Amino acid sequence: MNRRQFLETSTASLALATASTGAVDFTAMKKRVGLIGAGWYGKCDLFRLIQVAPVEVVCLCDVDARMLAAAGEMVAQRQASKATPKLYADFRKMLAENKLDIVLIGTPDHWHALCMIEAVKSGADVYVQKPTGVDVVESQAMLAAARKYQRVVQVGTQRRSTPHLMEARDTIVKAGKLGTVGMVDICCYYHMRTRENPPDAAPPEGFDYDMWTGPAPLRPYNKLVHPRSWRAFMEYGNGIVGDMCVHMLDMTRWMLDLGWPLSVSSTGGILVDKQSRANITDTQSALFDFGNIKVNWIHRSYGESPDAKYPWAATFYGDKGTLKASVNSFDFTPQGGGESIHRDCVMELEQFPEDKTEPDLEKHVAPAIRGHMKNLLSCIADRSKPVADIEQGHISSASCILANVALQLGRTLHWDAEKHQVKNDEEANKLLARPYRAPWVHPTV
């Protein structure tokens, strides 16, 4: 698709987006936007924002010079002004030199907190990818900063904006078709943990590995770190629990109006694939106890899924029916017979034809990202809290982090939501904040 064709279809898409949301006229929202982290999902998020509003992307930031230059060229092709954004290697310089309305953060997890806090300090509203932080105190500090500077912050837990899941929440769960829900099973059986064990090497040319590492421990460079496969290491994230459980736990909390779990426990480890360089678990279960509702997580990066149709999903068990829900579909089965309900994810490839050819785009997720961006823009307009407000992202992210702490200590953690501490467990509370590598300073509340 050439630029002229793209602009024509984008104009039609913007009209469609405006019509579908009623009062908010997104075509008038000409916000100045910057992106920190111009890799895979940073661009996915940015291009969905461009699809729903005539924003001006004025700057991009990344520590990989080649990736950054390529992203700049792509943005110039995608945005209506045809302008190439200014390129930066340091997010602090980018924020200082540009007055931005919206900042998108698509960095690896260990950078989310520092980037988001600096962005809200600069006066920008923020879209930050999940999880909110890699430790509980980071995440809590992000929430505190958003409230202090009165910024709108949307977290990339976009199941809350997934059309068929919104339908399931409204027409199945809220309509009472499940009856009383006592248990939810959430899972991920994707073989997503790397099995490689490549040797350490020198960082590639144009990649500032020291800045990329930032506050995390400085490991010898390994090709698994960049791009995209950094999730193999706990130094930069929270394993599959922090990556995949956070989505399903957040979706469950949203559908059932749950707050903090009362307690969190976890078991597992590296039980099968001990040869890989990866240090995240290949097997892990966790129990999030919400009192009358128990939420059970399990991931396993080998073997088959018990349900091939729902390898990454949530199953809600009520006394009147069962709901299986994933990014691709949902299925409701009433107890004792009756009419079952099935819905598939509807991709919007005709309304947004550029989705057909965008490299690495998860086409089935694109509608949810667009919905998430429209919700963000609406809340920016009236200064309200978005559907995945930073507080909701904090609860879901911190709960998953607590599961890893519970696994590390080998015991159940009882959470005091008001004090933001584990009850009667000083050893666990010391693990709520990771050490930072100098000269970076850990944020506090």
Measured distance CA(214)–CA(308) in Å, rounded: 39
436 belongs to a structural domain: no
128 belongs to a structural domain: yes
∠ Cα 261 155 311 (to 5°): 65
Cα atoms in the 13 Å half-sphere on the side-chain side of 215: 21
Tell me: do 187 and 310 sit in the same domain: yes
Tell me: do 338 and 366 sit in the same domain: no
> Which element (helix H / strand E) includes 58?
strand 56-61
pTM: 0.94
pLDDT of residue 28: 78
pLDDT of residue 211: 98
437 belongs to a structural domain: no
Closest CA to 113 of 236, 267, 286: 236
Per DSSP, the residues of 225-274 read: STTTGGGGSTTTS-HHIIIIIHHHHHHHHHHHT----SEEEEEEE--S--
339 belongs to a structural domain: yes
pLDDT of residue 21: 46
What residues make up the domain containing 47? 3-160+353-390
pLDDT of residue 6: 45
435 belongs to a structural domain: no
Tell me: do 12 and 73 sit in the same domain: yes
441 belongs to a structural domain: no
| pLDDT per residue of the chain (445 residues) written in tens, 0 to 9 | 444 444 444 444 444 444 444 567 887 778 999 999 999 999 999 999 999 999 999 999 999 999 999 999 999 999 999 999 999 999 999 999 999 999 999 999 999 999 999 999 999 999 999 999 999 999 999 999 999 999 999 999 999 999 999 999 999 999 999 999 999 999 999 999 999 999 999 999 999 999 999 999 999 999 999 988 999 999 999 999 999 999 999 999 999 999 999 999 999 999 999 999 999 999 999 999 999 999 999 999 999 999 999 999 999 999 999 999 999 999 999 999 899 999 999 999 999 999 999 999 999 999 999 999 999 999 999 999 999 999 999 999 999 999 999 999 999 999 999 999 999 999 999 999 999 999 999 999 8
Measured distance CA(441)–CA(429) in Å, rounded: 19
Tell me: do 258 and 123 sit in the same domain: no
Q: Is the dihedral of CA 254, 260, 261, 262 positive or negative?
A: negative
Tell me: do 340 and 362 sit in the same domain: no
Pairing of strands 294-300, 181-188: parallel
Cβ(237)–Cβ(230) under 8 Å? yes
Q: What are phi and psi of 181, to 5 degrees?
A: -95, 130
pLDDT of residue 394: 98
416 belongs to a structural domain: yes
Q: How far apart, in Å, do the first and last CA atoms of the chain sit?
A: 48
The CATH number that applies at residue 41 is 3.40.50.720
pLDDT of residue 11: 47
Tell me: do 45 and 32 sit in the same domain: yes
pLDDT of residue 253: 98
Tell me: do 298 and 378 sit in the same domain: no
Tell me: do 415 and 267 sit in the same domain: yes
Number of domains in the chain: 2
Per DSSP, the residues of 270-304 read: --S--SSS--S-SEEEEEEE-SS-EEEEEEESSS-
444 belongs to a structural domain: no
pLDDT of residue 355: 96
Tell me: do 140 and 219 sit in the same domain: no
Tell me: do 199 and 151 sit in the same domain: no
Measured distance CA(30)–CA(70) in Å, rounded: 24
Measured distance CA(359)–CA(43) in Å, rounded: 10
Measured distance CA(350)–CA(36) in Å, rounded: 30
Which class for 101: exposed (0-12), middle (13-18), buried (19 or more C-beta within 10 A)? middle
Tokens 């500077």 -> residue:
149
Closest CA to 361 of 15, 46, 10: 46
Tell me: do 154 and 7 sit in the same domain: yes
Tell me: do 312 and 197 sit in the same domain: yes
Measured distance CA(367)–CA(348) in Å, rounded: 7
The CATH number that applies at residue 284 is 3.30.360.10
Query: For residue 207, what is the DSSP state?
Result: B
Which class for 438: exposed (0-12), middle (13-18), buried (19 or more C-beta within 10 A)? exposed
